[in-house]
Amino acid sequence: MNIDKVREYIVIVNNGSGCIFQPEDDAYSYVLTAKHNIANENIEIIRFVFENNCWKEIAITTGQDMACYFPHPDKDIAIIKINKVGGLEHILRLDDFEDVRTGFSLCGYPTTRRSFPRKNQFRIDENVTVQGTKNNQLREAKVPDNPSIDEIVGQSGGAIVKMKDGQLFLAGIQNKMADAKNEQLGRVEFTPLTSFDEIIRQRPEALSPLSPPYVKSFEYLKQQVMKLEGCFCNLIYTKQLLQDFTDDIIKDPLTPTIIKNHFKKRLLVRNEKETSLNNKGLWIAWLELLIILKIIGKYPQTEQDLDDIFNQYRIIYSSSKEDWCTLIEDILCSDYKGLKENACIIIANEAKPSKSMIKKGIIQNIAWEISPNQMNIDDGENRSMEQFKHIHLYAFQEQCIIEKEEEYTVFNNRNRNELLQKLKQEYENIINTY
């Protein structure tokens, strides 16, 4: 996917712009826009589609009058609920701007271009840099070449996007030019998606969350699990067999949305932001765990089975890109309620660990240095951290397969069952022994 594909998602909303985004509910789509674009009770939305080597103008249906319109009471944003628009599921939300603030783009339909031929009406400013937070949770962004307000008018409601590793991300909706007394022009203000979440929380009976597609179904993550990277031997067959378990998992009733709604912040390491419940890394981790549980015969069949599994194999996630050893205090102060004796605590984060398992005895020594009031563990004389095994999710790839890669070169379609038995034995060994 390239940045030009963003045009498919950007629409004209009256005299401004908007961006199509898919909610969890598959029955409808959203247009996210600036509230000031809807100055009266009329909503006109125009989308451009490239067909037969030309741009075709399509009017988007908005439903009955203003029943589809959901403004924020205090902020210059609104959600317009529209009939489902298919094929536009490949833009994901981006909530964290702190690590990389460069490489964004501003997209929309400025007023100055509305009289141009259709192919020239769209404007995209690349190399936009996200700045700090302003009043009312607005963020500021610096647009190159200092465009004037005349160039930007009409792009209100347009998208601030970023292309990363071939994936398109939506960071927010542009509202206005920044106030620039005694400053050079070229700065705009935009509203991050977390503010749109506030609208949805206010109207839960009518609106569903702005979750990315992989929160609706594991099918979007099939190629991103069990990558078995760093092998010298050819393990394509083993990798494909593991990833193909996704096909069976997506047929089952359990979805990321069900898991998320069932456990909520219990899925996260202490101090992790609740917005991380939408992080791709969390659901990659869950899909890998479900594949492992399928192979060892412990797979939960229904939502009711989830609690039993969660109390035996508890996976907790952090968005940290540092080694998990730096998170150990937060890990030990995460939610341990309900864990069975000898339960396995599986940690997942955004960095490969230098060590993927913690030796017996180390955890309890660390735990002695943490106040009991900080720990979220069941009461009882025999309740100690030592009874739980702590491993990093990556251990299931590293120690079970990658470090034994030559043992897997013999497997193919003719001895598939032997490979499954091999994996089952390796996974059970790592879960049950220190």
Whether 319 and 260 map to the same domain: the answer is yes
Whether 380 and 320 map to the same domain: the answer is yes
CA distance 175 to 149: 12
What's the predicted TM-score (pTM) here? 0.74
Type of residue at 143:
V
Q: Is residue 66 part of a domain?
A: yes
In angstroms, the first-to-last Cα distance of the chain is 44
Q: What percent of the chain has pLDDT over 70?
A: 95
Whether 109 and 159 map to the same domain: the answer is yes
Decide if 96 contacts 281 (C-beta within 8 A): no
CA 320, distance to chain mean position in Å, is: 14
Whether 54 and 189 map to the same domain: the answer is yes
For the chain, give me the number of helices (H) and strands (E)? Answer: 11, 17
CA 364, distance to chain mean position in Å, is: 34
Whether 89 and 161 map to the same domain: the answer is yes
Tens-place pLDDT, residues 202-251: 999 999 988 877 888 899 899 999 999 999 999 999 999 999 999 999 99
Q: Is the pLDDT of residue 21 over 80?
A: yes
Q: Is residue 207 part of a domain?
A: no
Instruction: Give residues with Cβ within 8 angstroms of 319, minimum separation 6.
Output: 96, 272, 273, 276, 279, 281, 349, 350
Tens-place pLDDT, residues 346-368: 999 999 999 999 887 787 778 77
Tens-place pLDDT, residues 43-53: 999 998 888 88
Whether 158 and 242 map to the same domain: the answer is no
Q: What angle do CA 198, 200, 205 make, to 5 degrees?
A: 140
Q: Which of 202, 221, 236 is the last residue of a domain?
A: 202
Whether 186 and 268 map to the same domain: the answer is no
Instruction: Provide the pLDDT for residue 184.
Output: 53
CA distance 328 to 347: 10
Decide: residue 351, CB within 10 A, 0-12 exposed, 13-18 middle, 19+ buried: middle
H or E stretch covering 402: none
Q: Which of 202, 236, 254 is the last residue of a domain?
A: 202
Whether 276 and 301 map to the same domain: the answer is yes
Per the structure, how many domains does the chain have?
A: 2
Q: How confident is the model at residue 37 (pLDDT cuts 50, 70, 90)?
A: very high
- Average pLDDT estimate for 189-213: 92
Q: Is residue 251 part of a domain?
A: yes
Q: How confident is the model at residue 132 (pLDDT cuts 50, 70, 90)?
A: confident
Task: Compute the Cα dihedral for 325, 353, 356, 349 and give only its sign.
Answer: positive
Structure tokens at 250: 């997506």
Instruction: Provide the pLDDT for residue 381.
Output: 46
Whether 22 and 76 map to the same domain: the answer is yes
- Average pLDDT estimate for 412-431: 96
Q: For residue 213, give the nearest of 23, 30, 58, 403 by alpha carbon.
A: 23
Q: Is residue 374 part of a domain?
A: yes
The strand order across the sheet containing 389-392 reads: 313-317, 344-348, 389-392
- Which domain does 27 fall in, by range? 3-202
Q: How many CB atoms lie within 10 A of CB 341?
A: 9
Whether 302 and 400 map to the same domain: the answer is yes
